[in-house]
């Protein structure tokens, strides 16, 4: 799991152009709401699209729109990758 976490963090840092120092498994993707924690990452619909696309490219997986709507935290991404990675 740590390797997947580091790769997920790398995608987030690349797409969002942020410092990944505060990204943990508990980091939330906050859509249309204010951050409640320094670990939260504010995303809009385009950010979400590019993040999902980045995860798909990085891990060679497919994430449907329906599945993408269920991804709310970094842990959600890590778990999804671990169960769908080939």
Q: What do you get for the CA distance between the two ends of the chain, in Å?
A: 15
Q: Which of 3, 19, 44, 65 is catalytic?
A: 44
Tokens 């939330």 -> residue: 28
CB burial of residue 24 (10 Å; 0-12, 13-18, 19+): middle
Catalytic residue check, 57: no
What distances in angstroms separate CA 67 from CA 1, 17, 21, 34, one per listed residue? 20, 24, 27, 23
Q: Could you list the active site residues?
A: 44
């Amino acid at each position: 799991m740590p390797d997947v976490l580091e790769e997920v963090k790398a995608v987030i840092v690349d797409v969002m152009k942020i410092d990944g120092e505060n990204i943990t498994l508990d980091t939330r993707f906050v859509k249309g709401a204010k951050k409640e924690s320094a670990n939260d990452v504010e995303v809009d619909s385009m950010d979400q699209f590019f993040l999902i696309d980045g995860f798909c490219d990085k891990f060679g997986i497919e994430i449907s729109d329906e599945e993408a709507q269920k991804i709310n935290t970094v842990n959600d991404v890590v778990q999804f990758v671990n169960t769908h990675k080939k």
